[in-house]
Amino acid sequence: MITKNISGKMSGDITGKYNNHQSSREKPNLVYQNKTREFSIIGQIVDSMKYLPDLAKVYLTIVDVVIDETNAENCSLMLLDRGTDRLFVRAAKGKHDKKSRYYDQKEYRGRGLLTSEGIAGKVAREGKSCLIVNAQKEKLFIELEKPSLEIKSLLCTPIFNKDEVIGVFNISSSHPGVFKQDDKLVLQTIANLAASTLSTSFLYEELHKLNVNLEKKVEEKTAVLRSSEQKYRALVQGANDGIFIFQDGAFKFTNKRFHEILGHSSRKPLSKNFHMVNFTSHMERYLREMGGGSDNKKSSAHFEFVVTKGNGGEVEVEVSLASIRYEGMHAIQGIVRDITSRKELERLKSNFLAMAAHELRSPTTVINGYNKLLLKQDLGPLNPQQKKVLKESKKSCDRLINFIREIMELSRIEAGKMHINIKEDGVDRCIADAIREVSTLARKKKIVLEIKLPPHDILKIPFDKNRIEQVLVNLTENAINYTPEGGKIEIIATPPSDSLIEIWVIDSGIGIPPAEREFIFDEFRAGKRPDGEEGVGLGLAICKKIVDAHGGKIWVEPAINGGSKFIFTLPLARA
């Protein structure tokens, strides 16, 4: 960093000003970074629930969070089976592994560890974390998951839900004494945050397993079916989330929490007419897509909305739907989660970021102004070392100013203050204007920008030209940053299909690893560029929100030439 370059080498007033400025902003920056990290962890763990019913993605996403936030070389997630009093490895990953490992119900049955065995068993039994300097010297140490792995440092932390241990996180390193008390606190924090998600995921797995068993046995023994249904009801009645089964236009089953979330008395029977329930209108499209005998019907859906409760109040809910077999027939099972508190947390986060950005904007602008003034040498000549330091300082200020601008833009969007001015305009004109804005940057790296458009008469559609131009500039600038000198970038608008037009931005750069593609549009997710620079990870998140506001979608695929292909859609008509 700059401090290393100039320590003991600057003279006069510039040294004093630099050191005073540096010490004054280190503390707030550290607090800001810690808050950002905390929000990021919460967001990633909560966001893992969107992958239901895919438990592999839920568990592996949480394991990835542990790997990213600790000094671990390896991490495994073990869940406790109360029926056998055994811990089973459900997901595991090494920091340098190309592929994570997920064990389904058949696989994990052979990897059990009694709570009376091993270090993990002791942690589950006593409910206390255990930090081992050198596991090879511990008598209780048992290698379960990967016998060929050299494990020295080991940290095991229990996962609690309602004062009950439901599993254990294990992190390890091939070097002794790696983990400290800070790692212990971080892992316990992640375990606390992940507990509710893991509990619901585990319950969902049990429910799914139960439904499979019901389908197999319903034709054999009616008595077995009744017994299984009783177990099913006992499991879901105590769930933290609302659960329902919908079939033939009526609710076949609802648990107590479902009624609590919607403000409906569980003692009053639900109408068999599904349209009488106030939140149903939000789900009708998903139910049509998942129901009936269509060959193209979906097997699952996930969405959020605000619903009016029976008492007139409002609650924000997250709903996951899955197609199941119930009593030998097609049905839809739903999980309803009250996310009002989470949404309020997100609003608090946005307010915090907006406030931080506002407080940083003025002093950063002043510092940048002084940098420019000094570099012009209006206040006196500079020696080469001083010029170098000031140029680095200006570069850092420019990066911080861009970060502040993106933070404030994101905060406005999340606060619902983004104005979308939809009117008919030319896609070709929008692309041309965006390319004109980034052409200087492309010329510096000798990168060729190639535009391919369909016939002119089908390029006029309703959209906000300024906002979509912002998306194109961001995607193209990213493509330039990640493409080596002398490369090529294509911007393509495809002919309309299924009432949509697609726009592609294809680069010949380094590409995006498969594991990062599904998170690339999350906030504060930034890849490392070939020049070593790293962005703040807000540009693509803003792009997604703009495209979503137009009723379109955005995603990324690997390009044929090894680079990346960003695609977003725009509807041909207003929704």
* pLDDT tens for each residue of 83-94: 888 898 888 888
- Of all residues in the chain, what percent carry a pLDDT higher than 70? 75
Residue 14's pLDDT is 34
Does residue 268 surpass a pLDDT of 60?
no
Query: Which has the higher per-residue pLDDT, 401 or 246?
Result: 246
Query: Which has the higher per-residue pLDDT, 409 or 69?
Result: 69
Give the C-alpha distances (Å, rounded to integers) separating 154 from 91, 92, 151, 426: 17, 15, 7, 60
Query: Which has the higher per-residue pLDDT, 300 or 73?
Result: 73
Residue 555's pLDDT is 92
* pLDDT tens for each residue of 159-184: 998 889 999 999 999 899 899 888 89
**Mean per-residue pLDDT for 547-564?**
88
Give the C-alpha distances (Å, rounded to integers) separating 253 from 157, 250, 258, 375, 511: 37, 9, 10, 72, 47
* pLDDT tens for each residue of 504-524: 999 988 888 888 887 888 876
**Mean per-residue pLDDT for 114-121?**
90
Residue 5's pLDDT is 34
Please provide residue 357's backbone torsions phi and psi, each rounded to the nearest 5 degrees: -65, -40
Domain 52-205 and domain 423-571, same fold? Reply is no
At residue 19, the 3 state secondary structure works out as helix
**Mean per-residue pLDDT for 406-416?**
67
For domain 241-338, the CATH class is alpha beta
Residue 16's pLDDT is 41
- Name residue 321's beta-bridge partners: 301, 334
Domain boundaries, the chain: 2-37+343-414, 52-205, 241-338, 423-571
Does residue 532 surpass a pLDDT of 60?
no
Report the alpha-carbon distance of residue 195 to residue 191 in Å, rounded. 6
Please give the single-letter amino acid code of residue 424.
Answer: E
- Name residue 554's beta-bridge partners: 568
pLDDT interval class at 575 (50, 70, 90)? low
Through-space distance between the first and last CA atoms of the chain, rounded to whole angstroms: 50
CATH number of 2-37+343-414: 1.10.287
- Name residue 340's beta-bridge partners: none
Give start and end residues of each alpha helix (H) in 263-338: 284-290
Residue 15's pLDDT is 37
pLDDT interval class at 375 (50, 70, 90)? confident
Please give the single-letter amino acid code of residue 434.
Answer: A
Query: Which has the higher per-residue pLDDT, 237 or 416?
Result: 237
- Mean pLDDT taken over the chain: 78
Does residue 156 surpass a pLDDT of 90?
yes
* pLDDT tens for each residue of 58-104: 888 888 888 888 888 899 999 888 888 889 888 888 888 877 776 76
- DSSP E strand boundaries for 256-387: 300-308, 314-326, 329-338
Does residue 222 surpass a pLDDT of 80?
no
Report the alpha-carbon distance of residue 62 to residue 81 in Å, rounded. 19
Answer whether CATH 3.30.565.10 is correct for domain 423-571. Answer: yes
Q: Which of 50-59, 62-71, 108-117, 341-350 has the highest mean pLDDT?
A: 62-71
Does residue 381 surpass a pLDDT of 50?
yes
Residue 6's pLDDT is 31
Q: Which of 40-54, 211-225, 318-332, 390-404 has the highest mean pLDDT?
A: 318-332
Residue 276's pLDDT is 43
pLDDT interval class at 216 (50, 70, 90)? confident
Does residue 7 surpass a pLDDT of 60?
no
Residues 52-205: name the CATH superfamily: GAF domain (3.30.450.40)
**Mean per-residue pLDDT for 530-534?**
57
Report the alpha-carbon distance of residue 542 to residue 193 in Å, rounded. 26
Does residue 525 surpass a pLDDT of 80?
no
